[in-house]
């Protein structure tokens, strides 16, 4: 008879919290490796399961604005969090100007510089229309790539045609805007030309620059710009102009434990060691006085330091530089609590960007499974 397998020992909640806390010391950082894998702790079964993962996963939004979102992703490994960050920057497909056909350019800006400026202008359009768009493959006869012809499902056509002229009866002195028409060329002067089904697909939000006030060039009477542009889908891995985010970062949740009371003038000094809003100063209550902590005895009504909002902390370690706080505070970071900050360039709402990164990761995982199945056969 096979020996019966003993039940794994139960671990206290305090021990679990200790394991997933990165220690922040005056000059070192400790406990930075993950312990959530089998065999790390003898006798414990830490095998991964989808039920355990689903129960421990939490998403909580702290700020949700169209161009900027901040949310907490709790219960995942750092490798997964970093995968989302990299996908947000480099692998969510977006629309950008790829080719410029310059018919006329008599401005002081060189053709290649003008084309570069136009390519970096962020565009926005209906998300339903973006789903309709397909990848455009440019031909390369030297390498045997046939390529594709521009069509309504792979190419967006934009046009910039503008000429600077004198205004009727202009003043002798004044700003150029007062004397000339179209002295400054802005992103709002770019006009979209719908092709085929594009008018219907993009009816909710036509293709247009995210910020119409972007300055492209300055002209003087007689100078003219006429450019036809082709925009295609692309990824940030190919060029930064396709990246849907201005920035996508994450940080671990700071953890501040006051292990011994900090009272009186020390409480005020302790508060100044942190960013505003992290530490608050409160009064010692009768409940504190009757607690088992002897430091509260006889201090009723005195000031004490309490942790108010650790999320605002920058982990500066300033409090660890003062002798009066030694042994009274422990700093750390929670290993599986990631605070994401996502700043959209305008093509996607900031909260939708994370969902798009999840879709990309799911697609990559399914591709890997298909490759493994093919390899096993």
SS3 152: coil
In which band, very low, low, confident or very high, does the pLDDT at 164 lie, cut at 50, 70 and 90?
very high
- Please write the tens of the pLDDT for every residue from 353-377: 999 999 999 999 999 999 998 887 7
CATH number for the domain whose boundaries are 260-327: 3.30.1360.10
- Please write the tens of the pLDDT for every residue from 22-41: 888 888 898 887 776 666 76
Rounded Cα–Cα distance for residues 334 and 74 (Å): 9
What is the location of CATH 2.170.120.12 in the chain? 94-243
Contacts of 235 (CB under 8 A, 6+ apart): 90, 91, 92, 93, 94, 242
What is the location of CATH 3.30.1360.10 in the chain? 260-327
Whether the per-residue pLDDT at 122 is higher than 50: the answer is: yes
Average pLDDT over residues 60-85: 92
Residue given tokens 């530089």 in the structure block: 321
SS3 139: coil
Query: Angle at the Cα of 188 (from 106 to 207), degrees rounded to 5?
Result: 115
Q: Look at the pTM and tell me if it is higher than 0.75.
A: yes
Whether the per-residue pLDDT at 3 is higher than 60: the answer is: no
Average pLDDT over residues 289-296: 72
Average pLDDT over residues 331-348: 94
Rounded Cα–Cα distance for residues 7 and 52 (Å): 18
Residue given tokens 């710009």 in the structure block: 225
pLDDT at site 114: 97
pLDDT at site 115: 96
Whether the per-residue pLDDT at 61 is higher than 50: the answer is: yes
Average pLDDT over residues 222-234: 96
- Please write the tens of the pLDDT for every residue from 245-278: 999 999 999 999 999 999 989 999 999 999 999 9
pLDDT at site 38: 65
| Fold of the domain spanning 94-243 | RNA Polymerase Alpha Subunit; Chain A, domain 2 (2.170.120)
Whether the per-residue pLDDT at 1 is higher than 50: the answer is: no
In which band, very low, low, confident or very high, does the pLDDT at 299 lie, cut at 50, 70 and 90?
confident
- Please write the tens of the pLDDT for every residue from 83-92: 999 999 999 9
Q: Tokens representing 373?
A: 């199945």
């Amino acid at each position: 008879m096979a020996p019966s397998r003993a039940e794994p020992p139960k671990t206290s909640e305090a021990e679990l919290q200790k394991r997933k806390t990165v220690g922040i010391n005056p000059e070192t950082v400790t406990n930075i490796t993950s312990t959530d894998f089998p065999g790390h702790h003898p006798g414990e079964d830490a095998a991964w399961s989808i039920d355990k993962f689903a129960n421990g996963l939490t998403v909580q939004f702290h700020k949700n604005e169209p161009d900027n979102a901040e949310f907490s992703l709790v219960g995942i490994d750092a490798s997964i969090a970093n995968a989302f960050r990299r996908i947000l920057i480099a692998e969510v497909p977006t629309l950008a100007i790829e080719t410029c056909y310059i018919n006329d350019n008599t401005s002081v800006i060189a053709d290649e510089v003008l084309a570069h400026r136009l390519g970096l202008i962020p565009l926005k359009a209906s998300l339903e229309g973006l789903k309709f768009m397909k990848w455009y493959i440019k031909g390369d006869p030297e390498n045997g790539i046939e390529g594709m012809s521009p069509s309504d499902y792979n190419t967006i056509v934009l046009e910039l045609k503008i000429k600077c002229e004198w205004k009727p009866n202009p003043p002798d002195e004044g700003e150029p805007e007062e004397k000339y028409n179209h002295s400054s060329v802005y992103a709002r002067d770019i006009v979209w030309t719908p092709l085929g089904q594009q008018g219907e697909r993009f009816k909710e939000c036509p293709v247009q620059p995210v910020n119409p006030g972007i300055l492209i060039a300055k002209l003087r009477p007689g100078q003219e710009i006429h450019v036809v542009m082709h925009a295609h889908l692309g990824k940030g891995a190919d060029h930064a102009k396709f990246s849907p985010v201005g920035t996508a970062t994450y940080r671990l949740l700071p953890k501040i434990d006051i292990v011994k009371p900090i009272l009186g003038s020390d409480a005020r000094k302790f508060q100044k060691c942190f960013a505003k809003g992290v530490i608050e100063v409160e009064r010692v209550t009768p409940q504190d006085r009757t607690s088992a902590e002897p430091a509260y005895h006889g201090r009723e009504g005195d000031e004490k330091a309490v942790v108010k909002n650790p999320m605002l902390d920058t982990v500066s370690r300033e409090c660890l530089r003062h002798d009066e706080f030694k042994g009274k505070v422990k700093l750390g970071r929670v290993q599986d609590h990631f605070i994401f900050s996502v700043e959209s360039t305008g093509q996607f709402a900031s909260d939708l960007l994370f969902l798009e990164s999840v879709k990309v990761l799911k697609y990559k995982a399914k591709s890997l499974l298909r490759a493994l199945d093919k390899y096993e056969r």
